[in-house]
Structure 1
């Protein structure tokens, strides 16, 4: 018997706000299925139930199988889904936006489409990362140069703090084990931060491809957002993990970063930062309303015939 259209889709107010969700949940070597409104993870040791509406991003590790019903529920709940390999994280699928309003994506597109406002947002992003420095008036080339210097300084400072030997950033795409322990930890932390940023961007209804610092990639805006928290969360956590030893760097970094993200309420901060950068008021974006746009940018109610007697 078909179940199509038998069950009502969750409305915006039925779902947990992205800022109140768990940052991410990592699963491996299990079967992911659905039980009512919960995601289940079953392995030889038993079955774990996870309320789908509380998940920001679900990381599916090696040996994981996921059912169609589970993916349907995750999509309906607005959760991100990331398949995780031994050598890193890649985003392959995401849930439906938690927002029913187009306010954020329209604001993002408007700011992105103008070269001057796009640079203004890039400067604002730099200011959020390094609040002790004023980037006003800097060109994009100057911003990139200063960002590179600040990143090198951050690596050196964290290495000195944790007494971890540091010989520079070394990363070989596709080969996680090519770097030393601190480099592996930095890579693992960065990739998890990309997954978290992707979950927030998707949940808010922004478009991941329109970046203000990064460009030319389908996840440009996701990379922009993730980089906002690299120097105060991602890199310090990575060096703390590397200082504890070389064993199981990837898994220990994920766990440590998960705890730090929850401790600092990063999802809530991320939502507020995106809205501030895009000049959108920090109000609920849950209104499920479709309007028609007039020639004078007036928003007219949809579902009506405007053949006669309408002042546009």
Structure 2
């Protein structure tokens, strides 16, 4: 029987995650579909955004999205993330671009084995200290080393911009309660979390299975985002706070967008996640094999879609 509706795009036809626009934030608009484009309509008019070019669509307050728009995003492997005012709260996200569970299995295996988890955590810290040997450091030593690096980064950018800096302090429930630099940091980090979350979900990994962070639904998001804050969001936040911005949330989002507009963060994020989770390092595309199989207790995999009770009619579904 022919299934009604527009058929989804074939996986080989989809734009790879690292080749897409990092994120697009929309608020107070109606989100709909026009052919293969997402449309956003407000009192200023309509804009068209090709669905295949979107990494993550951040849906802020006042947005109304149609079923057709979400179906189009899903068909093209784009992730929709529902966020709060200024993008600083996360509520929900859409589907994955991946058709294979290879990264997810590798992630679950590594995080469930103490030595493998420690190796991945050490690799994450090693990315922040190029040229230094972190292979023998304990997690306590690594946390202390990272803490000193972050404090030094804050002091350097405070000196560069001439802003007074005390400490990272913010209220999750009251964005405006923080001083300008803390507001800018919160807004910038929220954008980065959205980008990283979208890449993790698009690749088929689990946002909640972290190696350094743990116990939170976005623990792995925070793990990966911490790799890029010193290069992206911290300098952007200090620049915005030093500019006497009248709307720090909006100005910071635009500044982060401009900083990552070339898509390099997506390429870097995809590369780093694969390097951390897959050993030895793979070659080729991310989803090399999307065949559905059944696990066997002899540590093998057998074809799915069959009835193993025997007989002539062995197709199960």
RMSD (CA atoms)? 2.0
Using the TM superposition, give the Cα deviation of residue 264 of structure 1 relative to its aligned residue in structure 2, in angstroms. Answer: 6.1
Distance 1:282 1:178, change over 3 A: farther
Counterparts in 2 of 1:190-269, with a 5 A limit? Answer: 190-263=189-262, 265-269=264-268
Partner SS, residue 207 of structure 1: coil
Say whether residues 1:300 and 2:298 are aligned partners: no
**CA offsets, 1:160-208, max 9 Å, x none?**
1222221221111111111111111111111111101110000000011
In structure 2, the partner of 1:290 is 292
Q: Deviations over 1:246-271 (max 9, x none)?
A: 32111111111111112361001100
Change (3 A) 1:101 1:84: closer
Change (3 A) 1:282 1:233: farther
Distance 1:126 1:168 in 2: 22
Alignment of 1:77-226 (within 5 A): 77-86=76-85, 88-226=87-225
**Mean CA deviation greater in 42-51 or 295-304:** 295-304
Distance (Å, rounded) in 2 between the aligned partners of 1:143 and 1:93: 32
- The TM-score normalised by the length of structure 1 is 0.91
Moved over 4 A (4+): 304-308
* 8 Å contact from structure 1 (residues 190, 230) kept in 2: yes
5+ unaligned residues in a row in structure 2: which ranges?
A: 311-317
Contact 2:245 2:251 in 1 (8 A): no
Count of residues in Structure 1 that have an aligned counterpart in Structure 2: 306
Higher mean displacement: 243-252 or 24-33: 243-252
Distance 1:296 1:254 in 2: 51
- Please state whether the residue corresponding to 1:262 is helix, strand or coil: coil
